[in-house]
Structure formats: C-alpha cells, structure tokens
Structure 1
Amino acid sequence: MALGATISKVTDIHPQSYIGGFQFNNGRSYRIFYQTKAGVMNAVATDNWGDSWYGGDGQAVSNQAIVPTPIASCIYTDKNGAASRTFYIGKDYKVRCFGVGSSAGWAGGDRAVSDFTVAQFSKIGALSFIDGQNQGHLRVYVQGPDSRIQELCWDGNGGNLTLGHKFPAPLQGTSLAFYNKAPKGTGPSFRGYYQNWDKTLLEIIYESDGKSWRGGPSINGGKAVDPGTHISACVSSTGAEAQYWSSHSGNVTQIFERFFDKTWHTSQEGHPILPCCSPNNPRFLATCHVPDNTTQTRIRIFFVGVNGGLHEARRENDHWGWGGQNGGQYTWQKV
C-alpha cells in the first residue's frame, strides 16, 4: 500500500482530525483544513499544484470547534465575486463558517451561521450552486438530535442558515457527502451520500424539476460496510463523478473508489485504491479538477497516513500516484 506524498508544512495534526478543503484554478491551488492536537483548526495551501505548500502549523483559522470536528468546504463565483466557505461544528454544537472572498454571506473570517443545534454525533456536508441570476446559494447538511438529516440553506439573503428539507433518519453519526453536478446558472442537481441504518451506502438525488429529493441506488451493491465509514465525493467541471469510502481491514484503513467519467472507470460497486490511511483515522478528503486545455478529470485525496502526517495521492490517466505537478520521479500504479 502506498503512503502518498507528505505535506511537510503540517507536523501538528490531531490523530482523529477530519480533512476539509477545496481546489481552484483548475487544480493549481488548494486550501486544506485540519485540526491540531490542541483542537485548533489550521489551513495549509498551495498555488503550484502541490510542488510547495505554505501555512500549515502557523496558519490557525479557528479555536471554536469541537474536537474532532467534521469539516466541509465549498467554493463558488457569483455576481458578488469569488468566495469560499468552510463549515464545521462549534463548541455549542451549532454550525460555524470560516469565510473568504465575496462580502456576501459571512466573508472575513470565522463566525456562527446557524441557530440549529446538531446532534453530538453529527457529521457535516456542504455544497454551493449558482442560479440563473448569477446569485450564489449554499446548502449545509447535518444530523439533528432526532438523528434525521437536516438541510440548512443560505440563498443570498445576508442572514444565517435557515431550515430546509428534513430527511429520514439514517445511521447515527453517518458521514455526509454532497455536491452539485449542474453547470453554473443551470439550476441545482444535487447528489448526497450517507450510510443508512442497515450500514449500506446510499445515494440521494435532487433535481430542479419540482420533485424534491428522492432516493437513488446503493453505491456499493447493497453490501453493509463498517459502521462509521467515512465518505467523500466530488464532481468535476466536465461532469465526472467520484465517490470514495473507507473500510477497516486488519491493521489498515483502506479507501474504495467508484468513478464515472462518461463510462465506468471502476466497478460500479467500487474497488480498493492505493492510499493507506492511519488505522486509527478513516477520514479523508477527495477533490477533482480538469486541468487547462484538457478534458481529463484528475483527482486528489488528502488523508492522515500511517505515520500520523498529512498526505496526498492523485489519480491521473487511470493511474494512482503521488508527488509533484505530474508525479515527478514518483511511482504510478494502474487502477
């Protein structure tokens, strides 16, 4: 199993830290969020495809989070400009946001953005979309004290998140992964992924056709997986979709991949891939992008490795590898 490239700017990371973040500039720039051993949320960044990183140990963004806190990030550009929003759970079990960019919707740092109290076992998911009037919208997903998944909404109104759709109760403490697959300005097309009460992994679907949310298929053939498995999902600008989930086996935590880009590049039920996570931490972040002048979706996964450090691995040309803009001298392995 491959350890992946170490991000050396991060030497202080909580052994149970979640990983959040996003990419922009077609994969050149990344902002990755994690927690230190003291519970402070930090950020590490790159603007040259990961050839070098900055921030990390000295780049604190919040000391208001539970330990460990789930983290979910999204990025968008609307009529007010570019913006990023990173959501997490505060010490009062309400959603907080670290915002950068556009002045509309909580930019300028760290603040509480919801009056809704989440369950102590809640994870968090988030997505953004742009409507036909070039207005940005945000959706955040958490579990309430009744175990049901609660959607929280921001629609450019300048206030806090408001209550949206309420889903049936899945497994308590399920991972929550969401994205919007619709092109900018064409209306929402959401996909959500979580672990059901019977431990299977389910997809839920929302289209802007007046039918609201509806159930989709199991993403791993209806097989039960470890309770508490972590799920991360992403979609690229060309519509390629990828879902990942963790599985503990023996002394390692392995990641499974399900990847569709015009055709299935993996089994529809998923299969194990290279990155080897810490046996004590199944949490990771998957991101994807399409480099300039290409149509190929590339994926990066950020995770806590078996040595306790922050690592990244990448998928290009149906191979997994790690290190440098194009893999450099490092090993690549066929999927």
Structure 2
Amino acid sequence: MPVQVPKNQRISSSSGASGTTAEKATYDIDLLYRTAYASNIATTGAWNLVYFQATDGSIKLARWYGNWSITTIVPAGKALYHTPLASTQWGPQDTFRLYYLSPDFLLREWAWDTANGADHKYDGDLNASNVKVAPYSKLSVISFKGPELRVYYQSTDNKIQEQTYNPTNGWQKGATLPGTPLAGTNLAFVNRNDYNADAPSIRGYFQTSTGGLAEQVWEVGGWGIGDFAVASAPFLTPITATVSNLQNFPKIFVYWLDVQNLVIQQTNWHGWSGAAAVDTVSVVDGFISATSFARDTDNVDVRVYGTGILNILAEKIFRGGVWETTIGTVPVGTEVTLDVVGA
C-alpha cells in the first residue's frame, strides 16, 4: 500500500495531473524527523557543511566536497533530543563552531580547528559557563575579527539574550536585546560586515509575540529595531538568514515558511524586496538553514536546507540568479524507498 503525500510536497513532480500515478520517494530512517539544521559554505563554494541530528540523538555533519560524507561529531546522549543548532566559520575557512543544547538546557559548543593541516575536534570553552536557556529556546551565532563570537538564545523571561566571546575576556553575558519575541521563536542572526572588520554590523530576525516577523539591528552605539517587518506569519515559523556581498555591498537573504510550508524569501540590498516563494515544493514544518557565497562580483549563490517529504535532507539551490528546478537530496544514512500517491 503506497503512502499518501500531497503532490506539492514531493521532491519529484512527475505524477499525473490526477495525482494518482505512483512514484518513488525516499524515507531516511537515520534522519531525525523535524531535526534542526545549521550550515556553512566555503567562500568559493568548493564545499558545504550541514549539521543535523540523527534519530539516535547524535549530531552529525554532512560535508560535500565532490560528494557527500557523513561524520558523527556529538555522540548520542550529549545533546537535547530535537536540540536547536547554530554554526559559524572564520579564518581562511579553517575554524568552525557549532552550538547546541544539552539535555538539561545548557548552551554547548563543539569546536573544529583545521589550520595548518590540523584536525582538532573538541568541546569548546563555552561549556564551562553552564549558561541555562529557556527549554523552548532556539539558537543563532555570528563571528567577526579576533575571533569574536556572539551567540543568541532565548532566556526564561522570553527576552533574546546575547553571550559574547573574545580572546581576552573569554565568554561573558552580553546584551539583552530589544523587542517582544514570541516564546520559542526561531532566531536568525547575520553579520553584514566582512569578517576582518573591527566591528560587526548585526541583523537578527525573529517572530514577535503578536505573530509578525521583525528585525534587530546592532551598529556601533547599540541595539535597535530595524525596518524589516512581516505583519503575520505561521505560529513559530522556521526562520533562517544568510548574507553575502553583491557588487561590494551586503545582500541579506531571509527565509521563513508560509502556511503551505513553502519557503518564502525576502532580500535586502539597498532596501527590502517583496516576499515571494522560492519554488512550489513544500518542506516539513520544522527547521530550515541557509548559507551563501559570492560566486563573483555580480552573483550570490544560496543553499537552503530543510526536511523534504517523506523524510530526507533536501537542498534548494539558487545559482546564476535562478532557483534550480531540481531539489537536491543529501543521503545521510539508511534509506527506504516507498511508493507515494495523492492529489
């Protein structure tokens, strides 16, 4: 007996107009359903990193460098089941940090240093701080010169809180951000400035307690609320953002899901564009993650990762100024092929 899946949720669109023609779909047993994702891409586009949680609770890294390889980086039992994830990279693409939650809702850091041919993976210094977050908190992170780090989470008073790091002072509690976020809102923060700039230019996207989407802004001088505003969005909609330079000016890409679980895009490059769906293929209402790089002065490529129907790590690719019609998939473990039907 085939599984029923709406036609607009299938990776393939080869069914007949009636939706009754059987087609094949993949169910990935090892991918935790509605897992969080975090992702990074090389500034040249040569490789991609996608972090996700497996069904056993471990956190895995999918790395593309000509083909996909899968590595377990946080063993089962160390991370909260359905933990949020946030990642960043710096240096000449050789230093990486991943943030997640422990089962008792403490901020945790996984570090990977590869400079000069090293392959050093270890628990980061943040772990010693035992920062407690709200049980429903999501995570985001930015990095800049130093390296300096800013991790964002939701505290038990529902405020968005910042944890800061610099090499001199280590990890410290940072600012409490403005706004009235929805409890459990997704968080998506980006740094508009080049990594080597002395100070960041931070933008953060979140859902408000009234259901809209809003922007937090940091420039030298402090925090404020920005111009980005979406009047209403689905409750606890997934949100992600990425930024890359286009013609030497930062272009921000913000993504969230609409009521049909289509990925909606809105961009800022000398002003905000209108919102529009990137394609007609829905993803699972869970988490999405975006990353980007400047292919050349006039083109930015984007990757958006999420869970596709039935349960597969799906990759939507924006390349050469258009969204590719074929949805990519990342094999992460044991797969079962099922027949699917449905209008």
Equivalent residue, structure 1, for 2:105: 93
Equivalent residue, structure 2, for 1:20: 38
Gaps of 5+ in 2: 1-7, 13-25, 329-343
Comparing 270-279 and 59-68, the one that deviates more: 270-279
- 2:309 aligned with 1:306: yes
- 2:238 aligned with 1:230: yes
Q: Do the aligned partners of 1:275 and 1:313 also contact (CA within 8 Å) in 2? A: no
After TM superposition, give the deviation of residue 136 of structure 1 in Å: 0.9
After TM superposition, give the deviation of residue 110 of structure 1 in Å: 3.2
Q: Name the CA distance, whole Å, in 2 between partners of 1:158 and 1:84.
A: 20
After TM superposition, give the deviation of residue 259 of structure 1 in Å: 2.0
AA matched with 1:23: I
Q: Name the CA distance, whole Å, in 2 between partners of 1:274 and 1:302.
A: 14
After TM superposition, give the deviation of residue 294 of structure 1 in Å: 4.6
Q: Which fold has the larger relative contact order, with Cα–Cα distance below 8 Å and residues 6 or more apart in sequence? A: 2
Equivalent residue, structure 2, for 1:44: 62
AA matched with 2:30: D
With over 3 angstroms needed to count, the CA separation of the structure-2 counterparts of 1:72 and 1:113, relative to structure 1, is farther
With over 3 angstroms needed to count, the CA separation of the structure-2 counterparts of 1:3 and 1:299, relative to structure 1, is farther
After TM superposition, give the deviation of residue 199 of structure 1 in Å: 0.8
Equivalent residue, structure 2, for 1:332: none
- 2:322 aligned with 1:319: yes
Paired-residue identity, %: 24
With over 3 angstroms needed to count, the CA separation of the structure-2 counterparts of 1:119 and 1:68, relative to structure 1, is same
Q: Name the CA distance, whole Å, in 2 between partners of 1:277 and 1:137.
A: 37
- Residue aligned with 1:17, SS: coil
After TM superposition, give the deviation of residue 31 of structure 1 in Å: 1.1
Under a length normalisation based on structure 1, what TM-score does the superposition of the two structures give?
A: 0.81
Q: Name the CA distance, whole Å, in 2 between partners of 1:301 and 1:307.
A: 17
Correspondence for 1:147 among 144, 158, 161: 158
After TM superposition, give the deviation of residue 197 of structure 1 in Å: 0.7
- After superposition, what is the alpha-carbon deviation per residue over 1:25-70, rounded to whole angstroms, capped at 9, x for unaligned? 421211111111121111110123xxx2111xx5343331111011
Which is higher, the Rg of structure 1 or of structure 2? 2
- 2:291 aligned with 1:287: yes
Equivalent residue, structure 2, for 1:330: none
- 2:131 aligned with 1:127: no
After TM superposition, give the deviation of residue 97 of structure 1 in Å: 1.2
Q: How does 1:76-91 map to 2 (within 5 A)?
A: 76-77=90-91, 82-91=94-103
Q: Do the aligned partners of 1:231 and 1:245 also contact (CA within 8 Å) in 2? A: yes
Q: Do the aligned partners of 2:263 and 2:283 also contact (CA within 8 Å) in 1? A: no
Under a length normalisation based on structure 2, what TM-score does the superposition of the two structures give?
A: 0.79
Q: Do the aligned partners of 1:17 and 1:68 also contact (CA within 8 Å) in 2? A: yes
- After superposition, what is the alpha-carbon deviation per residue over 1:59-99, rounded to whole angstroms, capped at 9, x for unaligned? 34333111101101111118xx8311111111121111111
Q: Name the CA distance, whole Å, in 1 between partners of 2:72 and 2:156.
A: 33
Q: How does 1:98-109 map to 2 (within 5 A)?
A: 98-101=110-113, 108-109=121-122
- 2:198 aligned with 1:190: no
| RMSD across aligned positions (CA) | 2.5
- 2:164 aligned with 1:138: no
After TM superposition, give the deviation of residue 102 of structure 1 in Å: 6.4
Gaps of 5+ in 1: 325-335
- After superposition, what is the alpha-carbon deviation per residue over 1:188-237, rounded to whole angstroms, capped at 9, x for unaligned? 100001011111100111112x2x001112432xx211111111000014
Q: Name the CA distance, whole Å, in 1 between partners of 2:114 and 2:206.
A: 31
Q: Do the aligned partners of 1:15 and 1:308 also contact (CA within 8 Å) in 2? A: yes
Q: Name the CA distance, whole Å, in 1 between partners of 2:45 and 2:128.
A: 29
Q: Kindly tell me the number of residue pairs found equivalent between the two proteins.
A: 295
- 2:177 aligned with 1:167: yes
Correspondence for 1:257 among 261, 265, 273: 265
- Residue aligned with 1:108, SS: strand
AA matched with 1:41: I
AA matched with 2:91: T
